Structure 1
C-alpha cells in the first residue's frame, strides 16, 4: 500500500517539480488548473507513464480521469485499488 507522501515524492521526481516539496502539496489539492498544483496535459501523460512504471499498474484508458486525477488522495486510492 502506497502512502500519499511516497506518491508526492514520486510525482515531484518524475515531473521535475523542483520548486515544490511534498509538504507543500496538500492531499486534496487540485492537480490541474490554476487553483491547484497547475499541472497541464503534458504532465498528465508523464504522470500516467510514471504511475504505470513505478507501481506496475495499467491506468485504464476508459477510466474517469476527472475523478481519478482530481488530487493526490484520489490517485493514491486508485493506485492502491489496482496494484497487483
Structure 2
C-alpha cells in the first residue's frame, strides 16, 4: 500500500520529476518534508475521494495526523477505502 500511495501522490500532483523511491514514507508530506502545500492537500483530498471513495473534509479533526506522512496516509486509506 505504501508504494501505491507514493505513486498516487506523484500522479495526483503531477510530480513527474519524482519517483516513488524519492519519497521517504516517514518524511512529512508538508513544509520541510516533501514540501506539499494547502493546494496540494486539496488536490490530494479530491483524488482520494475519487479513487478510494473516502470523503475528507474540514470536519475530520484528525486531518493533520492522516496527512502526516505516506505511512499514516496509507494506513488511513487501507482502513477506510470503499473502492
TM score, norm. by length of structure 1 = 0.89
Which stretch shows the higher mean deviation, 54-63 or 12-21?
Answer: 54-63
**1:28 aligned to 2:26?**
yes
**1:75 aligned to 2:56?**
no
Distance 1:62 1:74 in 2: 18
Tell me the residue number matched to 1:15. Answer: 13
**1:51 aligned to 2:52?**
no
Distance 2:19 2:3 in 1: 10
CA RMSD of aligned residues (A): 1.1
Can you give the 5+ residue segments of structure 1 that lack an aligned partner in the other structure? none
Can you give the 5+ residue segments of structure 2 that lack an aligned partner in the other structure? none
**1:37 aligned to 2:5?**
no
**1:5 aligned to 2:6?**
no
The offset of 1:61, in angstroms, is 3.1
The alignment covers a number of residue pairs equal to: 81
